[in-house]
A and B are shown apart, each in its own frame.
Chain A
Amino acid sequence: MSEALIAGLARDIRPVRRLRPAWQRAGGGLLLALAAAAALAVWHGPRPNLADALASPGFIWRLAGAAFTAVFGALAAAQLSVPGRSPLWLAAPMAGICVWVAGIGHGCASAWVVLLPGMLAPEEAASCLLTVVLTGLVAIAAMTVMLRRGAPQRLVPASLAAGLAAAGCAGATLTLLHPIDASAMVLAWNIGAMLLLVGVELLVGTRLLRLRAAGAPR
């Protein structure tokens, strides 16, 4: 019965190291993603027309939106990995997503550029994919480790927040490194990266968290 279980748990108890505050855990995860992005930037170099791009409102909105999504997604994931925290934390990265999508929409509305064959060289397309995969997967790995250190009771919201953080990291890196200004490609790469990384985190991340939860008590 439960009384016997209580006696056993109390008899065998060991001290534990308390979880660090959410902002520290989120910051640690984001630093890893930033390191991956920095390594990519050194290897690939920034986009050729970065100075011109910085003068474009659509570019600024996309970059800021992706960065906010990354930061608040990571913070929300860190909060949601602790029992009893408000589920409203999942709303935190949504504001960043709105800004990100507004930036994509601004580019499409102001100058819709039809996608023409050869507009993006295959090497550049492969490089874009590599950027999304590398930064996204490093961010997903960092977020999943952070979630596993916690004890999320609702796996889907926590994994969704982590996936959005990874998508934001990949989106910001993509925007800084690659000159994909053609409207349809901006849409495809940014939204595609978001859907891909959120999907990976929901599928793989939740499975890893369930395995962790099914393990023996400490």
Chain B
Amino acid sequence: MSAEPKPNWSELMASAQSGDGAAYACLLAEVLPWLRALARHALRDETEDAVQDILLTLHAARHTYDPDRPFKPWLAAIARARIADRQRGQVRRFRRETMLDQTHETFAAEPANMFMDAEALAHAVAGLPAGQRQALELLKLKEMTLQEAAAQTGLTITALKVATHRAIAALRRKLAP
């Protein structure tokens, strides 16, 4: 049995421009795996969101496609632009937001908030390297935000988070029973 010929994307798009819904659905179903692969390759997450952005832009821009030209470069340009938008959004969110990690969480349950020997804790904090001690004091004792502490110390937010994480790990090791 001979294999069914692969649908011609240019012809399907030309039909879709005329309002053929079946051809349009067939075309979009055909390109979907390729778009997902492109998005997955460029983005760690939000892949499906990026694919839907591309589909919506394809829909809004379908009047610009020239059936005498190949379809794939036209769609690839739209895909690149939407993926680049998502990447820029991810960078902006990373800069603006503070991701929660284990050291930022606390629990209401009594056993989680163990009684600490204040003198032992103060001695352990004093024994930390200067950078770790400063990060701990600003973020945990003075309860500054990361942005405020970064502005005061001149360190990056990432450096402060790393210093805080190391300081707490070091205190755990020193104060472990």
- Residues of A at the B interface (CB closer than 8 Å) are 1-3, 5-7, 9-11, 13-19, 81-85, 150-151, 153-154, 213, 215, 217-218
Question: Is B77 touching A84 in the complex (CB atoms < 8 A)?
Answer: yes
Question: Is B21 touching A13 in the complex (CB atoms < 8 A)?
Answer: yes
Q: A13-B19, A83-B77 are in contact. Are A218 and B63 (CB under 8 A)?
A: yes
Question: Is B19 touching A14 in the complex (CB atoms < 8 A)?
Answer: yes
Q: A10-B21, A13-B21, A15-B18 are in contact. Are A154 and B81 (CB under 8 A)?
A: yes
Q: A10-B22, A82-B64, A83-B78 are in contact. Are A2 and B52 (CB under 8 A)?
A: yes
User: Is there a chain A Cβ closer than 8 Å to B149's Cβ?
Assistant: no
18 chain-A/chain-B pairs, Cβ below 8 angstroms: A2-B32, A2-B48, A5-B52, A6-B28, A10-B21, A10-B24, A10-B28, A15-B17, A81-B64, A82-B66, A83-B74, A83-B78, A84-B69, A151-B60, A151-B61, A153-B81, A215-B60, A217-B59
Complex: A85 Cα to B80 Cα, angstroms: 13
Question: Is B55 touching A6 in the complex (CB atoms < 8 A)?
Answer: yes
User: Is there a chain A Cβ closer than 8 Å to B130's Cβ?
Assistant: no
Chain A's closest residue to B62 (CB) is A16
The residues in B between 9 and 51 inclusive whose CB is less than 8 angstroms from any CB of A are 16-22, 24-25, 28-29, 32, 36, 48, 51
User: Is there a chain A Cβ closer than 8 Å to B121's Cβ?
Assistant: no
Residues from chain B with a CB closer than 8 A to the CB of A11 are 21
Residues from chain A with a CB closer than 8 A to the CB of B57 are 151, 153, 213
User: Is there a chain A Cβ closer than 8 Å to B159's Cβ?
Assistant: no
Chain B's closest residue to A87 (CB) is B77
Chain B's closest residue to A85 (CB) is B77
Question: Is B24 touching A13 in the complex (CB atoms < 8 A)?
Answer: yes
Complex: A157 Cα to B60 Cα, angstroms: 20
Tell me the smallest distance from the CB of A213 to a CB of chain B, in Å. 8
Complex: A72 Cα to B82 Cα, angstroms: 28
Question: Is A15 touching B81 in the complex (CB atoms < 8 A)?
Answer: no
Tell me the smallest distance from the CB of B84 to a CB of chain A, in Å. 9
Question: Is B63 touching A17 in the complex (CB atoms < 8 A)?
Answer: yes
Question: Is A9 touching B55 in the complex (CB atoms < 8 A)?
Answer: yes
